[in-house]
A and B are shown apart, each in its own frame.
Chain A
Amino acid sequence: MKAVRITSWLAGLFLLASLAIVARADQLETISERGSIEGAVYRDFPPFSYRNEKGKRAGIDVEIAELVAEKLGVNLSARFIGVDETMEDDLRNNIWKGHYIGGGVADFMMHVPYDLAFAADNDLVAFLAPYYRDNLALAVNTDSADSVRSAEDIDQHRVGVELDTLADFYLLSPRHGNRRENVVHFGNISEAAAAFGRGEIDAIAGPSAEIQGIMKAADRQFDLRPLPTPGLQNTGWDVGLGIRFNHKGLINAVIAAMRELREEGAIAAVFDRYGVDYREPSAAALETGYIQQ
């Protein structure tokens, strides 16, 4: 566990203030009283969080959030959120401040990166309970582009990416500049999967779990390969939950619930139901389990 650093008497004062809030009433009590917990999940984000054909909420993140609520003995109220420019914005809008348009904050948020450096810049959020690890991958049509194994191989092939993502930037970077014409942009991975099905592109580059879940749900034939990305620092990342820093009781309860779920194999089972290979968080992430500045 990363220690809480008190670098000045001022920080100490803030700590005292936050403890005083805890002593009065933790968010956990409020949640118990109302009988429901509000979890923020991304809107239109299969296989993690979306509404199915019947309009029912579904997805890996949704089901894990439901399991957490069950462990706490309350119902899940899912808040489907839009994506802002950066993760910092999403955390501000949904965890510690709320958007200025109104609507307040949720009790916790799914799909939050678990990363010491990132956490250091977001000190109003506690990062906890990493539940899987993602990386960049290529889904390849083996009939038309079996030779594609890296960004260097895409010369003759068309690769779909989601606009304004890491895979997009990497494939467009000047080091692959002569291959820029081969990068095809889509609004999301689902649109790319549809184009893949029509034979318009030979491969899709993006987050592994997202591509795998969507392609399996669409019943596409493909081979999933890691996308090597020399030069990038952050090509694999752990994903966990975020909760407002001062909700100590809630934080502890969710950490305990997630630990039990992992040990019971319930998390891996959820991934399995959506056709996504479950990859454990990194050993380092599992060891800490909780980051707060």
Chain B
Amino acid sequence: MKLNWNSRHLTRSLLATAVAATVTVVAPAAIADGHGKGVTDDMILNDQASEEDVVSYGLGPRGQRFSTLTTINSENVGGMVPAWAFSMGGEKQRGQESQPLIHDGVMYVTGSYSRMWAIDVRTGEELWQYDHRLPDGILPCCDVVNRGAGLYADLVIFGTLDAGIVALDQKTGKVRWKTKIDDFKAGYSMTAAPLIVNGKVITGVSGGEFGVVGRVEARDAMTGDMVWQRPVLEGHMGHVWKDGAQQENGITGTTNETWPGDMWKTGGAATWLGGTYDPETNLVFFGTGNPAPWNAYLRPGDNLHSTSTVAINPDTGKIVWGYQYTPNDHWDYDGVNELISFNAKIGGEDVKAGGHADRNGFFYVLNRENGKLLNAFPFVDKITWASGIDLKTGRPIEADNRPGDPTASDDGKKGESIFAAPSFLGGKNWMPMAYSQDTGLFYVPSNEWGMDLWNEPITYKKGAAYLGAGFTISPLNDDYIGALRAFDPATGEKVWEYRNPAPLWGGVLTTAGNLVFTGTPEGYLKAFDAKTGEELWKFQTGSGIVSSPVTWTMDGEQYIAVASGWGGAVPLWGGEVAKRVKYLNQGGSVWVFKLPSS
């Protein structure tokens, strides 16, 4: 099934107009046309405004996680009840971080261990299940999660723990194409939901600290054939494929400008969380991880584009701009978190802006046309590594809070321990925030924690002596770690806050019904008043929620769905924090809610 070029371009320009006007309700006829004929580019671009489906990660490529639906609203949400629940079954549980997709009466949801289900969304009955065969010797670093799939034409596409991409037939669950991103033995993996833009599947790579270099890749959504590949670190050559032949497409940045020696060749910056797309500027935005090796003294310089957002033209595979959050990172503050496109008045001017809440504790508002910083403010209470972000230069005002150099002390003793906040799990981790076109606020799932960080002169790797770093994560407060906060991006004002005992690890959804939804590790899906933060409704799902809720309408009723299943990085890495969440039980299910039928 090929795309309709004319209608795609037409819709894009229509959409651009609509976005600029900050509309609340749009129901183009194109959606109805697409119904039953497979998922088109138009449908993906229109996902946020279309009410009857969720065909993309983030409810639209901009990732706002904002729905125009108002049937369920702050007046009546208190009466919401379960419609059905679905078990992900088997002995395989662990973290369920998936965002469900809904199209044509079917829910597509991925699960831990690279599994996927198609579910009849009216009854909750399973239509098919796909179990990806994982090879022996696979060593995923950070739990066996998957964050969701992408729909295109009659395909459902998702990434696997052995660093592959699989496209399944929506009807049968049979493999239509599959491809390898890279060698899982070299530490590569794929946990993010793919971004689908104009017929291309656009993905990053997951990888540990073993010199995996971050890159963004575009493939033909119908065949899996490579279209372009863009490494995010300076010095690396990008490529495009024309008629199956690989051609050079220019080097990223300037070799050795911000990296010494040959270290850019293995400098990390994994793009493991995927990206967002803005049709207005025709840019995809990918966040990049921390640079390697971990010891910043060994790689003097900014180390571009690590800990950054890079904006790439999806037609050319070239970087248009990059903005770096933590130059010469020494705290493991990945810059992978999403950049959400939004249009608002910042500093008195209407701007095409992008919002990003970084691991490092600062919320950044960028001009998404050129990457210039417009505003930056802390979204967590305690930040020790920098006192602020200089709005003129766009650079952090660093405090004296770096760990000592482990190779510098002549006696080779354990380096001095420093305390840094946020911890490397971040003021905000992978879990996507939401932006309401209705309230103009960002809803940020954040955590208040810090870390002790020191050098370990007596440590080992692969049986040989090694210079490691030790760390312990600890909560900053006795009564809570997680905090869902509403921020005005123009002023940095915190409008409201909800505090949660366990760290928040799930995504946020906001609706024009004056609602904000998020899940907690304690197992609750909760609804809040979008303007005041008042808790209006909660439901216990039986295991921790570390996934992103969605909403849609069907047969005249509005539905909310969320995956439940405790896991992810916190129980693996959490130090003192892990002790607070030890009692939480694993699970694996999808819950769907609605108002009682009248």
Contact = CB atoms under 8 A, between A and B. Distances in A.
A232 B457 contact: yes
A137 B139 CA distance: 30
Interface stretch (A30-38, A65-73, A161-169, A267-275): A161-169
B1 interface: no
A185 B264 CA distance: 10
Contacts of B260: 180-181
Contacts of B266: 163, 185
B297 A86 contact: no
Interface in B530-587: none
A86 B211 contact: no
B467 A239 contact: no
Interface string B463-479: 11111100000000000
A175 B139 contact: no
A237 B464 contact: yes
A3 to B, nearest CB: 21
A187 to B, nearest CB: 7
Contacts of B185: 43, 82
Interface in A90-124: 90, 93, 99-101, 103, 111-113, 115, 117-118
Contact of A83 (B144, B293, B407, B461): B461
Contacts of A42: 462-463
A273 B412 CA distance: 36
Contacts of B406: 169
B412 A175 contact: no
Given A233-B457, A237-B460, A100 B412 contact: no
Given A100-B94, A103-B136, A166-B465, A185 B262 contact: yes
Interface in A1-53: 42-43, 45
A164 B408 contact: no
A142 interface: no
Contact of A100 (B144, B407, B467): B144
B407 A169 contact: yes
Contacts of A112: 463
Interface residues of B, number: 52
Contact of A165 (B407, B412, B464): B464
A139 interface: no
B379 to A, nearest CB: 29
Contacts, number: 144
B144 A118 contact: no
A169 B293 contact: yes
Contacts of B460: 86-87, 113, 115, 118, 237
Interface in A222-239: 230-235, 237, 239
Contacts of A187: 186, 211
A278 interface: no
B6 to A, nearest CB: 47
Given A174-B405, A232-B407, A82 B139 contact: yes
Nearest to A116: B458
Contact of A183 (B140, B262, B457, B464): B262
Contact of A237 (B139, B186, B408, B465): B465
Nearest to A209: B464
Interface in B276-293: 292-293
Contact of B413 (A113, A163, A230, A233): A233
What secondary structure prevails in chain B residues at the interface with A?
A: loop
Interface string A170-194: 1011110100111111010000000
A42 B138 CA distance: 14
Nearest to A110: B463
A117 B458 contact: yes
A100 B143 contact: yes
A45 B461 CA distance: 13
A165 B461 contact: yes
Contacts of A235: 465
Contacts of B400: none
Interface string A74-88: 000000111111110
A202 interface: no
Contacts of A177: 300
Interface centre among B141, B409, B459 (most CB of A within 10 A): B459
Contact of B410 (A45, A93, A99, A230): A230
B89 interface: no
A208 B266 CA distance: 24
B298 interface: yes
Interface string B118-136: 0000000000000000101
Identify which of A83, A85, A182 gathers the most chain B CB atoms within 10 Å of its CB: A85
A41 B299 CA distance: 32
Nearest to B466: A166
A202 B357 CA distance: 47
**Most chain B CB within a 10 A radius of its CB, from A164, A180, A184:** A164
B262 A83 contact: no
Given A80-B137, A234-B412, A183 B405 contact: no
Contacts of A83: 461-462
Nearest to A45: B462
Nearest to B185: A82
B144 A115 contact: no
A97 to B, nearest CB: 12
A174 B408 contact: yes
Interface in B192-231: 208-211
B292 A207 contact: no
Nearest to B94: A100
A213 B365 CA distance: 55
A230 B260 CA distance: 23
Contacts of A232: 407, 412, 457, 465, 467
Interface string B398-416: 0000000111111111000
B458 A118 contact: yes
Contact of B210 (A163, A175, A239): A163
B348 interface: no
Contacts of A117: 458
B407 A170 contact: yes
Interface of B: 94, 113, 134, 136-141, 143-144, 161, 185-186, 208-211, 260-263, 265-266, 292-293, 295, 297-300, 405-413, 457-468
28 contacts: A43-B137, A43-B185, A45-B462, A82-B185, A83-B461, A87-B461, A99-B139, A100-B94, A100-B143, A101-B144, A103-B136, A111-B462, A113-B460, A118-B460, A163-B211, A164-B292, A164-B293, A165-B466, A166-B464, A169-B293, A172-B263, A173-B298, A173-B407, A174-B405, A180-B261, A182-B261, A234-B457, A237-B464
Given A173-B405, A187-B211, 18 more contacts: A45-B462, A83-B462, A85-B461, A86-B459, A101-B161, A115-B458, A118-B459, A118-B460, A166-B465, A169-B466, A174-B298, A174-B407, A174-B408, A181-B260, A184-B262, A185-B265, A234-B465, A237-B464
